[in-house]
């Protein structure tokens, strides 16, 4: 086994894998195999060093990365061993520990986890209670300040002692009330998951000792992006055994705005003077041309302490393409045109291509162009499934079933679907609950129990009681019913479908109802758990699903993703868009050196995702914040020697060697890859041989109707992959007699 495990690693990587004890720091550039080393090391610890997998804890940056790591380990070690491992994000791991031990902090185990939308609702309530104006005191800004404080482990009292401005004072007042309401709702926000775990370990040495004993081998990926709370957590856990293995790259630190502290990685050697430090220099991901451009960019940073050289045996490869677009629409159409061309040439499948940008808003034009070209795609971190209104509404009921004290969920659905409980009644309920000093649900239960001095009119009272009975019933049934049955019961009792039909026109109601059913489908995955655990496990997973995690739901599709979320990933073809002043560096970051350099690292992260070919794009004009303005190319591009680029302009695009574009053979599909009506879009690709294109609907005499997944030209024929109702098939166009429909 050892030989297998080590065979595919270079000598430095082998050293990292086989250094079993003591602190180890692997400091290395992108694509040098840090994540791979981490995975192999887990396998090595178990098979060669004889470590019980129960003693191993690995922290990844996303849930998706955790799943992938686990899958790889299942492949290497088998299912049984892999289930004993603990692999997850800091948040997921802390949530699990708190479920077990938060009781020591005087709180209850069945807490709910509030996401940013829940937080904002709660903050709006705080502002209302404190008579503060939402316009002058934007909830997001206040939450941002609170989050920063929490990441530094500064509580409300300490925060209040150190206020330096009027805004700080507002934040201090809101922070205190916000925490009180979270507590009353039996809820934690994401930052609390970390902060409360740190507090648990600090205040309860016996609890910490338990975890230290359990987790004797700790591993952390992307260590450069840990914040103070995460740093303290790791340090506390590692104190006893000191078997701490971290990997990272300070040049890829891009989360300072979220409290990540680059010093954590730079100080590792000071924290652990006996640390083994390993550098990796061979890059296995990219071509030398891509690496050269990326390194020129990063080495030009004035903050760069020492320049690392990365080399590869992947060959020189193609030069980085620098595309200068006339405007943002042109940029989008160029990118989509290139992707179509690569697919038609057989060089790429949609899933090989990633489009990256600085801000979410940039995805819209790209999406339009992709839709028009019938290219299947997926936007990471767009409106996520679990953030859609109807999904959140149904989830709110489920959260109440699990924890009726959750006040944000309660307020969310107290009048959805409409049951005659107006704003005023809700305000009265809030005030009354506050007078009684109890959570909202408790107040409802007082009302049900004949409280005499309540403020409600008779009709409001009976509507409130009806809602109370509903929640009480759900709460009672949750442990008796399988999750799927509970959801069915809920949907029927609340008449969700009818409500959607009342609120939206037919098509939209239908769409939204389908989303609700999709939620019902997601619940199926929990059918094997004991009935009483299904709801809790489901809600936990939903709460922790992060943007990047939805990635693997779709397979062979173009990925649209922000630069921040692209960390750790790799794609054969990468397009980075909008490399312009104001976007990258972002206008917010231009005034101080630190954030400016963080923007540089962000571009560096994007560029180093590319395996085969990298496109850097910028446009001369762009609609930003609702206005079309001229935009200048980013200062970062000036740090890369022009000789490393192959420049392209609109006219140059036509001159690209050997384009073999898709021919559109059906009128309804006969559209250029971007908005034609604007008159600024890409020229139509010249018709050539390929007749089928992804997304096209076709009919086959035997297999029936299907959708083209991909097509490529091979030896005078076209090989078309089609998804039929039963399965995917690869067909040769000349034999298959596929008919477009
Ligand atoms: P990043 O900093 O971007 O997270 P990384 O250092 O974690 O990068 P990996 O993702 O682990 O790099 O590796 C990059 C690619 O190189 C992966 O596809 C990985 O499988 C491959 N790779 C790494 N080491 C080797 C090796 N010794 N032999 C073959 N392929 C390797
Ligand atoms: Mg990695």
User: Other CB atoms closer than 10 Å to residue 11's CB: what's the count?
Assistant: 8
Give 291 Cα–ligand 1 centroid separation in angstroms. Answer: 14
Any idea what the CATH number is for the domain that residue 219 is in? 3.40.50.300
- Known catalytic residue: 64? no
Output 594 or 220, whichever has higher pLDDT: 220
Give, using CA atoms, the residue closest to atom 30 of ligand 1: 284
- 332 φ, ψ (degrees, to nearest 5): -60, -40
Closest ligand 1 atom, residue 605 Cα:
3
Asked if residue 411 and residue 374 are part of one domain, the reply reads: no
Asked if pLDDT for residue 689 goes beyond 60, the answer is no
Answer whether residue 296 is part of any domain: no
Q: Pick from 219, 192, 250: which is nearest to 59 by CA?
A: 219
Asked if pLDDT for residue 602 goes beyond 80, the answer is yes
Asked if residue 324 and residue 430 are part of one domain, the reply reads: no
Q: Does residue 34 have its Cβ closer than 6 Å to ligand 1?
A: yes
pLDDT (mean) for 182-203: 95
Asked if residue 489 and residue 402 are part of one domain, the reply reads: yes
Whole-number Å distance between alpha carbons of 537 and 530: 10
Asked if pLDDT for residue 65 goes beyond 80, the answer is yes
Asked if residue 116 and residue 92 are part of one domain, the reply reads: no
Residues 290-312 have pLDDT tens digits of 999 999 999 998 876 656 678 89
Residues 625-645 have pLDDT tens digits of 656 788 899 999 999 999 999
Whole-number Å distance between alpha carbons of 395 and 538: 10
Res. 705 pLDDT band, cuts 50 70 90: confident
Asked if residue 539 and residue 409 are part of one domain, the reply reads: yes
Answer whether residue 479 is part of any domain: yes
Res. 711 pLDDT band, cuts 50 70 90: confident
CB 318 within 8 A of CB 347: no
Answer whether residue 676 is part of any domain: no
Answer whether residue 300 is part of any domain: no
pLDDT at 42: 94
Query: Would you say 409 is a known binding-site residue?
Result: no
Q: Does residue 285 have its Cβ closer than 6 Å to ligand 1?
A: yes
pLDDT at 674: 32
- Known catalytic residue: 34? yes
pLDDT at 661: 33
- Which of 648, 668, 686 lies at the terminal end of a domain, its last residue? 648
Mutate to test the pocket of ligand 1, among 65, 278, 284 (most ligand atoms within 8 A of CB): 284
Strand pairing category for 320-325 and 610-619: parallel
Average pLDDT of the chain, as a whole number: 86
pLDDT at 651: 46
Q: Pick from 416, 495, 431, 501: which is nearest to 463 by CA?
A: 416
Asked if residue 497 and residue 401 are part of one domain, the reply reads: yes
Asked if pLDDT for residue 657 goes beyond 80, the answer is no
Rounded to 10°, the helix 190-203/205-214 angle is: 100
Element (H, E) at 302: none
| Distances 37 to 225, 226, 268, 298 between C-alpha atoms, Å | 18, 19, 19, 24
Res. 684 pLDDT band, cuts 50 70 90: very low
Answer whether residue 217 is part of any domain: yes
| Distances 434 to 2, 18, 286, 430, 442 between C-alpha atoms, Å | 64, 59, 60, 6, 11
CB 609 within 8 A of CB 566: yes
Whole-number Å distance between alpha carbons of 138 and 133: 8
pLDDT at 382: 57
Res. 261 pLDDT band, cuts 50 70 90: confident
Whole-number Å distance between alpha carbons of 588 and 604: 19
Whole-number Å distance between alpha carbons of 40 and 8: 10
Query: Would you say 31 is a known binding-site residue?
Result: yes
Any idea what the CATH number is for the domain that residue 408 is in? 1.10.486.10
Answer whether residue 657 is part of any domain: no
Asked if residue 123 and residue 37 are part of one domain, the reply reads: no
Give, using CA atoms, the residue closest to atom 27 of ligand 1: 9
Kindly give, in sequence order, each residue whose CB lies less than 8 Å from that of residue 668, ignoring residues fewer than 6 positions away. Answer: none
Residues 129-169 have pLDDT tens digits of 899 998 899 898 899 999 999 999 999 999 999 999 999 99
DSSP 479: T
Residues 540-599 have pLDDT tens digits of 888 876 545 554 445 789 999 999 989 999 999 999 999 999 899 988 787 788 889 999
- Which of 526, 548, 570 lies at the terminal end of a domain, its last residue? 548
The alpha carbon of residue 345 and the mean position of all alpha carbons in its chain are separated, in whole angstroms, by 32
Asked if residue 507 and residue 417 are part of one domain, the reply reads: yes
Asked if pLDDT for residue 664 goes beyond 70, the answer is no
Give 672 Cα–ligand 2 centroid separation in angstroms. Answer: 37
- CA angle 33/39/44 to nearest 5° reads 115
Residues 407-418 have pLDDT tens digits of 999 999 999 999
- 545-578: buried (b, 16+ CB within 10 Å) or exposed (e) per residue? bbbbbbbeeeeebbbbbbbbbbbbbbbbbbbbbb
Instruction: Evaluate if pTM is beyond 0.90.
Output: no
* Token pair of 737 as six digits: 């007699």
- Known catalytic residue: 287? no
- Known catalytic residue: 222? yes
Residues 385-403 have pLDDT tens digits of 677 788 899 999 999 999 9
Counting the structural domains of the chain, the total is: 5
Output 113 or 364, whichever has higher pLDDT: 113
Q: Is the ipTM of this complex over 0.95?
A: yes
Answer whether residue 304 is part of any domain: no
Give, using CA atoms, the residue closest to atom 23 of ligand 1: 33
Ligand nearest to the CA of 221: 2
Which segment of 48-52, 220-224, 501-505, 698-702 scores lowest on mean pLDDT? Answer: 698-702
Whole-number Å distance between alpha carbons of 343 and 662: 8
Closest ligand 1 atom, residue 282 Cα:
24
The alpha carbon of residue 450 and the mean position of all alpha carbons in its chain are separated, in whole angstroms, by 47
Closest ligand 1 atom, residue 28 Cα:
6
Any idea what the CATH number is for the domain that residue 120 is in? 1.10.10.160
Asked if pLDDT for residue 186 goes beyond 70, the answer is yes
- Known catalytic residue: 392? no
Kindly give, in sequence order, each residue whose CB lies less than 8 Å from that of residue 461, ignoring residues fewer than 6 positions away. Answer: 447, 454
Residue length of the chain: 741
Give, using CA atoms, the residue closest to atom 13 of ligand 1: 33
CB 497 within 8 A of CB 506: no
Please, which residues have CB less than 5 A from ligand 2, an ion? 34-35, 568
pLDDT at 368: 83
Asked if residue 570 and residue 534 are part of one domain, the reply reads: no
Res. 670 pLDDT band, cuts 50 70 90: very low
Give 9 Cα–ligand 1 centroid separation in angstroms. Answer: 10
Asked if residue 368 and residue 510 are part of one domain, the reply reads: no
Res. 717 pLDDT band, cuts 50 70 90: low
Radius of gyration of the chain (CA): 28
Give, using CA atoms, the residue closest to atom 31 of ligand 1: 284
pLDDT (mean) for 253-264: 81
pLDDT (mean) for 74-101: 89
Give 607 Cα–ligand 2 centroid separation in angstroms. Answer: 14
Give 426 Cα–ligand 2 centroid separation in angstroms. Answer: 49
* Token pair of 184 as six digits: 């009353």
Answer whether residue 336 is part of any domain: yes
Helices (H), 217-327: 228-238, 263-266, 268-271, 288-299
Q: Residue 244 is part of which domain span?
A: 1-102+195-280
- Known catalytic residue: 177? no
pLDDT (mean) for 59-81: 84
Whole-number Å distance between alpha carbons of 160 and 175: 9
pLDDT at 306: 58
Q: Does residue 32 have its Cβ closer than 6 Å to ligand 1?
A: yes
**Beta-ladder partners of 708:** 722
Give 161 Cα–ligand 2 centroid separation in angstroms. Answer: 41
Closest ligand 1 atom, residue 38 Cα:
11
Q: Does residue 406 have its Cβ closer than 6 Å to ligand 1?
A: no
Asked if residue 558 and residue 512 are part of one domain, the reply reads: no
Asked if pLDDT for residue 173 goes beyond 90, the answer is yes
Which residue out of 184, 189, 222, 249 is catalytically annotated? 222
- Which of 159, 185, 211 lies at the terminal end of a domain, its last residue? 185
Whole-number Å distance between alpha carbons of 322 and 683: 19
Give 28 Cα–ligand 2 centroid separation in angstroms. Answer: 10
Asked if residue 525 and residue 467 are part of one domain, the reply reads: yes
């Amino acid at each position: 086994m050892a030989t297998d495990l080590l065979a595919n690693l270079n000598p430095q990587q082998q050293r990292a894998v086989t250094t079993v004890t003591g602190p180890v720091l692997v400091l290395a550039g992108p694509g040098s195999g840090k994540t791979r080393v981490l995975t192999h090391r887990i396998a090595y610890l178990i098979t060669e060093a004889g470590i019980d997998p129960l003693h191993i804890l690995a922290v990844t940056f996303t849930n998706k990365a955790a799943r992938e790591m686990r899958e790889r380990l299942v492949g290497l070690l088998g299912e049984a061993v892999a289930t004993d491992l603990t692999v997850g994000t800091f948040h997921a791991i802390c949530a699990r520990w708190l479920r077990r031990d938060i009781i020591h902090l005087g709180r209850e185990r069945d807490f709910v986890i509030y996401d940013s939308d829940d937080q904002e609702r709660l903050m709006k309530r705080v502002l209302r209670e404190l008579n503060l104006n939402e316009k002058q005191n934007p909830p997001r800004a206040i939450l941002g300040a609170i989050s920063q404080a929490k990441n530094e482990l500064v509580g409300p009292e300490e925060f209040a002692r150190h206020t330096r401005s009027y805004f700080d004072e507002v934040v201090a007042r809101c922070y205190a009330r916000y925490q009180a309401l979270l507590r009353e709702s039996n809820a934690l926000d994401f930052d609390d998951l970390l902060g409360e775990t740190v507090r648990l370990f600090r205040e309860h040495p016996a609890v910490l000792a338990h975890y230290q004993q359990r987790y004797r081998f700790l591993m952390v990926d992307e260590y450069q992006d840990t914040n103070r709370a995460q740093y303290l957590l790791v340090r506390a856990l590692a104190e006893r055994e000191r078997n701490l293995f971290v990997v990272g790259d300070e040049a890829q630190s891009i989360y300072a705005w979220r409290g990540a502290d680059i010093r954590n990685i730079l100080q590792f050697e000071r924290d652990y003077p006996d640390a083994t430090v390993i550098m990796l220099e061979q890059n296995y991901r990219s071509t030398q041309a891509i690496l050269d451009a990326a390194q020129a960019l990063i080495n030009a940073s004035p903050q760069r302490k020492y320049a690392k050289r990365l080399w590869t045996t992947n060959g020189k490869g193609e030069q980085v393409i620098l595309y200068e677009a006339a405007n943002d629409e042109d940029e989008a159409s160029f990118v989509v045109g290139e992707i179509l061309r690569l697919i038609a040439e057989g060089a790429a499948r949609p899933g090989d291509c990633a489009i990256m940008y600085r801000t979410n808003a940039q995805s819209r034009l790209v999406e339009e162009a992709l839709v028009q070209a019938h290219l299947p795609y997926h936007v990471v971190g767009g409106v996520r499934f679990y953030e859609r209104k109807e999904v959140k509404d149904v989830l709110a009921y489920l959260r109440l079933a699990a924890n009726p004290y959750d006040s944000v969920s309660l307020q969310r659905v107290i009048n959805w679907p409409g049951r005659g409980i107006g704003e005023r009644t809700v305000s009265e309920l809030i005030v009354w609950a506050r007078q009684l000093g109890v959570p909202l649900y408790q107040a409802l239960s007082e009302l049900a129990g004949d409280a005499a001095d309540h403020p409600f009119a008779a009709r409001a009272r009976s509507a409130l009681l009806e809602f109370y009975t509903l929640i009480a019933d759900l709460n009672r049934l949750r442990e008796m019913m399988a999750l799927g049955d509970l959801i069915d019961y809920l949907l029927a009792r609340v008449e969700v479908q009818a409500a959607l039909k009342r609120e939206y026109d037919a098509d939209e109601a239908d769409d939204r109802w389908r989303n609700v059913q999709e939620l019902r489908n997601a619940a199926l995955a929990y059918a094997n758990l004991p009935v009483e655990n299904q709801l809790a496990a489901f809600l936990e997973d939903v709460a922790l699903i992060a943007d990047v995690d939805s990635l693997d739901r779709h397979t062979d599709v173009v990925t649209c993703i922000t630069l921040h979320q692209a960390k750790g990933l790799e794609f054969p073809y990468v397009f980075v868009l909008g490399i312009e002043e104001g976007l990258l560096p972002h206008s917010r970051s231009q005034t101080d050196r630190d954030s400016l350099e963080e923007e540089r690292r962000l571009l560096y992260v994007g560029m180093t995702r590319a395996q085969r070919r990298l496109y850097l794009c910028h446009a001369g004009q762009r609609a930003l914040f609702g206005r079309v303005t001229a935009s200048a190319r980013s200062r970062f591009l000036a740090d890369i020697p022009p000789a490393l680029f192959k420049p392209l302009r609109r006219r140059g695009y036509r001159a690209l060697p050997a384009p073999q574009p898709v021919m559109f053979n059906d009128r309804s599909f006969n559209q250029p890859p971007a908005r034609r009506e604007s008159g600024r879009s890409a020229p139509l690709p010249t018709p050539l041989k390929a007749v089928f294109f992804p997304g096209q609907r076709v009919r086959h005499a035997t297999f029936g109707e299907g959708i083209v997944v991909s097509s490529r030209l091979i030896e005078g024929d076209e090989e078309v992959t089609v998804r039929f109702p039963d399965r995917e098939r690869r067909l040769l166009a000349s034999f298959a007699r596929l008919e477009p429909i």
